Amino acid sequence: MSGKGDAHLDVDGHDVRISHPDKIVFPEPGLTKLDLIEYYLAVADGALRGAGGRPLVLKRFVKGIDAEPFFQKRVPENHPPFIDTATLRYASGTSAEETVIRDAAGLAWVVNLGCLDLNPHPVRAEDLDHPDELRVDLDPMPGVEWAQIVDVAFVVRDVLADHGLTGWPKTSGSRGIHILVRIRPDWEFRDVRLAAESLAREVEARAPGLATARWWKEERGESVFVDFNQNAKDRTVASAYSARALPDARVSTPLGWDELRTRRPEEFTVLTVPQRFAEDGDAHAGIDDDAGSLHGLLRLAEQLGPAEKPPRGASADGRRASTMPLIEIARTRTKPEAEDALAQWRAAHADVAALLHPADVLVDGMRGASSLWYRVRVNLQHVPEAERPAQGPLLADYDPWAR
């Protein structure tokens, strides 16, 4: 039912109700929900090229960009007829009927739900078991500059080309770079992840010190992590033209390879990208015509052999014990709470904090039952052993699984 103050948009013949159209979504540039919807309509062809026809996890920021979103796998029961669905089955044995959008009206509808970014699975709704996209997520550790991320991106491009594949780069909308690779839907998830892991290992071998395929964050140093696990089943990433929950309303923007060294992520926002799109079109316009084979990367996997597994220590709960001198500071519900706990610890251990390198501070967003929570750790590798503080009580101890 429509409420007082609702707006209605005619999007290609579909009536889309917009609740609270004047609600401020991005306070810094003063952008409303209706502004965000109009942004997505302006870049609809590009946004649908990345997310259309794929099951989506709805990442809903119903309390604004400064509050934690919640993740909704199941399509709302009252979805309109122009919203399609697909039922995904997860490794846990559960299943969910997820949202599939196929047109601009679908874009407007999901944004009205509070979705800022679009998070599609790497499969089409017509074939849920065979990905048609390999995703390379270049995730920089703290202290890593843009130029280093770009250098690693070009190494990725070379490795892909050497194995018969084409990479299509885009800004992540935060600090990193995503490189999308269209593949023929001939392989299952485990094969795609293996291919991505082999790619990451080869990139690390070609760019030692700049890139890493090490899974454990405390072992990466100030490098760019080639995150191959984004290709595991059930994982999603923000797709092209997704707005991100940053104060400047930054957008995950497709770029040409010739632009990577001269452009910066902060240039691309909800305010600037529509003009770029109108004047230059979509830098990923040809991506669907360029599907390749995984045979080359899977042969590389055979040549490299199994990846080295990190040793497991004798921890009481049977989990892996890190070889690094880690202490845990806090577990919190929100990122500001995590940052407050870290500031409190720094103030209490000022001499130790002064010895830390940027990558020694680990603030990790962890996926809970339906939302993120945050874990704060410190790697004391650069602190003389005699000066390392012992693990103490957590400054905050949020339980994301408590009901």
Q: What is the pLDDT of residue 315?
A: 47
- In the predicted model, is pLDDT for residue 9 greater than 80? yes
Number of separate domains in the chain: 3
Beta partners for residue 221, in sequence order: none
In terms of domains, do 25 and 151 share one?
Answer: no
Q: What is the pLDDT of residue 200?
A: 97
Encoding tokens for residue 369?
């039952």
Instruction: Answer whether residue 355 is part of any domain.
Output: yes
**CATH number where 67 lies:** 3.90.920.10
Residue whose tokens read 């071998």: 205
In angstroms, the CA 213 to CA 174 distance is 20
Instruction: Answer whether residue 46 is part of any domain.
Output: yes
Beta partners for residue 326, in sequence order: 379
Report the b/e string of 35-59 with b at 16+ CB within 10 A: bbbbbbbbbbebbbbbbbbbbbbbb
Question: Residue 206 belongs to what domain range?
Answer: 133-236+292-304
Select from 110, 128, 146 the last residue of a domain: 128
Instruction: Answer whether residue 284 is part of any domain.
Output: no
Share of the chain above pLDDT 70, in %: 95
Instruction: Answer whether residue 17 is part of any domain.
Output: yes
In terms of domains, do 192 and 299 share one?
Answer: yes
Q: What is the pLDDT of residues 354-364, one digit of tens each?
A: 988 888 888 88
E-strand stretches of 141-245: 168-171, 177-182, 211-212, 224-227
Instruction: Answer whether residue 277 is part of any domain.
Output: no
Residue whose tokens read 């599609």: 120
**CATH number where 222 lies:** 3.30.70.3300
Give the CA distances from residue 182 to residues 66, 168, 221, in Å, rounded to whole numbers and listed in that order.
Answer: 34, 9, 31
Q: What is the pLDDT of residues 50-75, one digit of tens each?
A: 999 999 999 999 989 988 888 999 99
Q: How far is CA 312 from the centre of its chain?
A: 28
Q: How far is CA 220 from the centre of its chain?
A: 18
Comparing 370 with 249, which gets the higher pLDDT? 249
Select from 76, 96, 128 the last residue of a domain: 128
In terms of domains, do 343 and 388 share one?
Answer: yes
Section 313-317 average pLDDT? 45
Per-residue confidence band for 92, with pLDDT thresholds at 50, 70 and 90: confident
Q: Got the DSSP string for 294-332?
A: SHHHHHHHHHH-SPPPPPP---TTSPPPPSS-EEEEEEE
Beta partners for residue 363, in sequence order: 376
Q: Where are the alpha helices (DSSP H) in 230-304?
A: 273-280, 295-304
In terms of domains, do 115 and 148 share one?
Answer: no
Encoding tokens for residue 325?
């001198």
In terms of domains, do 300 and 339 share one?
Answer: no
Short-list 273, 299, 174, 263, CA closest to 227: 174
In terms of domains, do 299 and 359 share one?
Answer: no
Section 191-214 average pLDDT? 96
The DSSP call for residue 3 is: -
The DSSP call for residue 339 is: H
In angstroms, the CA 364 to CA 377 distance is 8
In terms of domains, do 219 and 71 share one?
Answer: no
In terms of domains, do 162 and 182 share one?
Answer: yes
In terms of domains, do 120 and 144 share one?
Answer: no
Q: What is the pLDDT of residue 91?
A: 75
Instruction: Answer whether residue 71 is part of any domain.
Output: yes
In terms of domains, do 203 and 101 share one?
Answer: no
The DSSP bridge pattern shows strands 326-332 and 31-32 to be unpaired
The DSSP bridge pattern shows strands 326-332 and 372-379 to be antiparallel
Decide if 235 contacts 119 (C-beta within 8 A).
Answer: no
Beta partners for residue 344, in sequence order: none
Decide if 249 contacts 31 (C-beta within 8 A).
Answer: yes
283 HSE (CA, 13 A, CB side): 21
Per-residue confidence band for 367, with pLDDT thresholds at 50, 70 and 90: confident
Per-residue confidence band for 317, with pLDDT thresholds at 50, 70 and 90: very low
Q: What is the pLDDT of residue 378?
A: 87
Q: What is the pLDDT of residue 320?
A: 57
Mean pLDDT over the full length of the chain: 91
Instruction: Answer whether residue 51 is part of any domain.
Output: yes
Say what angle helices 33-42 and 273-280 make with each other, to 10 degrees: 20
**DSSP reduced 3-state for 10:** strand
Select from 128, 143, 169 the last residue of a domain: 128
Q: What is the pLDDT of residues 106-126, one digit of tens each?
A: 999 999 999 999 999 999 999
In terms of domains, do 297 and 203 share one?
Answer: yes
Instruction: Answer whether residue 175 is part of any domain.
Output: yes
In terms of domains, do 123 and 145 share one?
Answer: no
Q: What is the pLDDT of residue 370?
A: 60
